Copies of this chain bind each other. A is one copy, B any other.
Amino acid sequence: MKKRKSITDIARELNVAISTVSAVLNGKTEERRIGEATKKRVLDYTLNAGYKPNQIARSLRTGKSNIIGMLVEEIANPFFAEITSKVEKKAAQHNYELIYSSTENDVNKIDRLITTYKNRQVDGFIIAPTIGSEKKIKELIEDKTPLVLFDRYLPTLATNNVLINNFNGIYIAMEHLKKSGYMNIGFISTNSRQTNMQDRLSGYRSFVNEHNWDASILEIDFKIGDTIKPSVISKYLLKNLQLDALIFSTNYIALCGLSALQQIQKSISKTYGIISFDDNTHFDLFKPSITTIAQPIEDIAEGIIQTLLLKMKEENYNSPIITKTFEPKLIIRESTKK
């Protein structure tokens, strides 16, 4: 590759000191009291030559990279894709670059990624943590690395969290179904022990208990990257013919559940009330369109970036731990109209 111009080259060609060029480039002409003429000469030259400072050198010197590392469960999942995209834009506004990777909820992968990112000297971490990654994340906390967890939390770790009220999300969905006349509601979820999934389950259980209903729960054994067989769900439906409505605990389970419903449409002719957690670009296109429990993605993204920015200010390393919890929102569509 062609060698790029350095600040030294520019200083030599312009007959000024390296530090002068640096000051101009960093907008420190005031403190350093650089003359207008010198400033203009440097600016003209660098603009013209298309000079961009070498970030690597800058990082090495300042100990800051202006990079934020973000680890999500799976970037292909629309929820994570959207949130990453929003965080990326917000980070850019504050002059930070975002790099991200999928952990696939794999403890080894998350550990490896944290190490890699650390070696790249990221200034802060945003992580959707996996059960089992407590030890590695604890290292970050002990190093005083600015850090925000989101989507789920790790109960044993005292650090910053941005979450939603998963319990309430399901609870208001149940209330809506009840009001719409459904009385036998099945809850279809994964067997994940993550806090978000457990809280959604609790929301269901609480509502059912409070109303003296029978709980009917399907927990599917699922790992990221697996394809769920719709037959798992159709079998469950055929065994639980009393059900008149279904809540899916997350978007990919819902997609699979909708396939299952198509499969058994011939054998049992009934229309279920349907609600899915996570709104999805396609849910309003379905026939019937699907009622969803939407996460306030904009709020979450803003909550994450603001918390991290605060923590990345050096003087705030010892400020209190922050947890922000947002409320999800029910988007009512055709699938819950009796």
**Docked CA distance A224–B59 (Å):** 34
* Contacting residue for A76 out of B54, B81, B145, B287, CB 8 A: B81
A1-B53 CB under 8 A given contacts A259-B286, A285-B256? no
Within 8 A of B (CB), among A267-320: 281-282, 285-287
Nearest-neighbor residue (CB-CB) of A76 within chain B: B81
A143 touches B99 (CB 8 A): no
Residue A212 at the chain B interface, CB threshold 8 Å: no
Expressed in whole angstroms, the minimum distance between the Cβ of A335 and any Cβ of chain B is 13
Contact residues on A (Cβ < 8 Å of other chain), bracket: 35 or more
Expressed in whole angstroms, the minimum distance between the Cβ of A297 and any Cβ of chain B is 13
Within 8 A of B (CB), among A108-148: 115-116, 118-121, 142-146
Type the 1/0 row for A235-276, where 1 means its CB is closer than 8 Å to any CB of B: 000000000000000000001100100110000000000000
Q: Cβ of A285: which chain B residues have Cβ within 8 Å of it?
A: 230, 255-256, 259
Residue A192 at the chain B interface, CB threshold 8 Å: no
**Docked CA distance A120–B121 (Å):** 12
* Contacting residue for A2 out of B101, B144, B262, CB 8 A: B144
A121-B54 CB under 8 A given contacts A116-B97, A282-B255? yes
A57 touches B55 (CB 8 A): no
B230 touches A118 (CB 8 A): no
Q: Cβ of A88: which chain B residues have Cβ within 8 Å of it?
A: 101
* Contacting residue for A227 out of B54, B256, B281, B286, CB 8 A: B281
Residue A183 at the chain B interface, CB threshold 8 Å: no
A52-B118 CB under 8 A given contacts A1-B145, A75-B75, A230-B285? yes
